[in-house]
Structure 1
Amino acid sequence: MNNSGRIFTNKNFKSSKITGDIIGCGMRVHSGLGPGYPEIIYQRAMALELDKAGLTFSREVSIPIL
């Protein structure tokens, strides 16, 4: 992992930076909390990490199933 916290970098993949940023947020949540909490705790922690990283997101968006 480099200094920016990104663990996924592939220059050929158009969304490599944002993908790496999201995975980095998830890794920080996982390493900070560890296992055993209810899902809502991880959801809230992930929202905090994504916000801290300056990433725009929506929680639990309904999408149609085709």
Structure 2
Amino acid sequence: MTLNISMVYITPIKKPVTKKEVTQLSYEITGCAIKVHKVLGPGLLESVYQRCLEYELSRNHFTVIRQVLVPVVYENIAIDADLRLDLLVNNCVVVELKAVEHLLPVCKYPLFQTAIS
């Protein structure tokens, strides 16, 4: 199994964040994820990688919230969809982890999307 992470920038809850700050933050998050995978190696469950990445990010003084419930509203109706973010880092970067057997060609490039505002 290989650890694959995706990051999405969202509008921060408190202070504005520059693109440069988001880029640096994503670089540091990726570094932490690489460290976790190097230490643990392949073949573990996604939940194990998630807990270890949460620990590593917290240890590096990031604010991390795990399994954030996201409300889904469709045509003004709240839908019980149980949509959850794996990790929310510093209230502005969503980290989604996937433990997969093989990476598809499309997954070999980091998925970093900016500016959901």
TM-score between both structures, scaled by the size of structure 1: 0.71
Q: CA deviation at 1:64?
A: 2.6
Shift, 1:42, TM fit: 0.6
Larger Rg: 2
Unaligned runs of 5+ in 2: 1-18, 74-117
RCO comparison, higher one (Cα < 8 Å, 6+): 2
Q: Which runs of 4+ in 1 moved over 4 A?
A: none
Deviation at 1:65, TM superposition (A): 3.5
Please give the alpha-carbon distance, in whole angstroms, between the structure 1 residues aligned to 2:45 and 2:35. 17
Corresponding residue for 1:53? 60
Ranges in structure 1 where 5+ consecutive residues have no aligned partner: 1-12
More strand by share: 2
For 1:30-45, list aligned pairs within 5 A: 30-45=37-52
Q: CA deviation at 1:27?
A: 0.5
1:64 counterpart (68, 71, 83): 71
* 1:28 matched to 2:57: no
Q: Percent identity?
A: 37
Q: Which residue identity is paired with 1:17?
A: Q
Give, in whole Å, the separation in 1 of the partners of 2:25 and 2:50.
Answer: 19
Amino acid at match of 2:50: Q
Matching residue's letter, 2:23? S
1:31-52, Cα deviation, whole Å (9 max, x unpaired): 1111111222111110111011
Q: CA RMSD in A?
A: 1.7
Higher normalized helix content (fraction of residues): 1
Equivalent position of 2:25 in the other structure = 18
